[in-house]
Chains A and B, each alone.
Chain A
Amino acid sequence: GENVEQHPSTLSVQEGDSAVIKCTYSDSASNYFPWYKQELGKGPQLIIDIRSNVGEKKDQRIAVTLNKTAKHFSLHITETQPEDSAVYFCAASKESSGDKLTFGTGTRLAVRP
């Protein structure tokens, strides 16, 4: 089955700096890649997603890039703010949607004021 690896497991950045989280996947048939943000005591919330027919997608300070050849995708957060502090999860699916998601192990991001 699909295997998703996520790095780093923890990341600490200064407010205003950029943060990058990377994920690799094993199944070349995977075609949908969402990113979720989980704040303390809450469930994961979708922040951005990308499909295999697109190489990059941006939403304000958040962007995701996808390299299908290398089978990896990355989350980029620019101009980080303290409210960006959370755990971030990547995921992959072959179903062109959120069905049958395989999740990475998560990255705990801390933004220092």
Chain B
Amino acid sequence: DAGITQSPRHKVTETGTPVTLRCHQTENHRYMYWYRQDPGHGLRLIHYSYGVKDTDKGEVSDGYSVSRSKTEDFLLTLESATSSQTSVYFCATLTGRVGETQYFGPGTRLLVL
């Protein structure tokens, strides 16, 4: 499982409040990703990172920002949470070597009221 932990695992918040989700990995994988999972949509990429301070947008990045100040940590921030951001959020990592695949964390279930 590439030593991936996500915190918190569950969170309930109110519309308009900021929320930060943390992904921590212990395998020194270079690439990290944030996805959201919603019924009927599968896994959709929010943001990704190819290294420290190297991040880019995925297909559903509006309303989200990320930061990666250390190889092992990738933070996802919802600046002002909305009900449409109620979802399950998964972090994933990749070594970056050819032929490797992504490893996923256990997920964070977020409810925005």
Contact = CB atoms under 8 A, between A and B. Distances in A.
* A: contact size bracket: 20 to 34
A44 B100 contact: no
Given A49-B101, A97-B97, A43 B90 contact: yes
Interface stretch (B11-19, B66-74, B75-83, B104-112): B104-112
Given A44-B43, A89-B43, A97 B104 contact: no
Interface residues of B, number: 25
Nearest to B43: A103
A16 B59 CA distance: 39
A20 interface: no
Nearest to A96: B98
Given A98-B102, A106-B42, A43 B107 contact: yes
B94 A98 contact: yes
A42 interface: yes
B90 to A, nearest CB: 5
A41 B41 CA distance: 17
A-B pairs with lowest CB-CB distance, top 5: A43-B104, A98-B101, A98-B102, A105-B42, A103-B42
Given A44-B90, A49-B101, 13 more contacts: A36-B104, A41-B106, A42-B107, A43-B4, A43-B90, A46-B101, A96-B99, A97-B97, A98-B94, A99-B96, A104-B42, A105-B40, A106-B42
Interface of B: 1, 4, 31, 40-45, 59, 90, 92, 94, 96-107
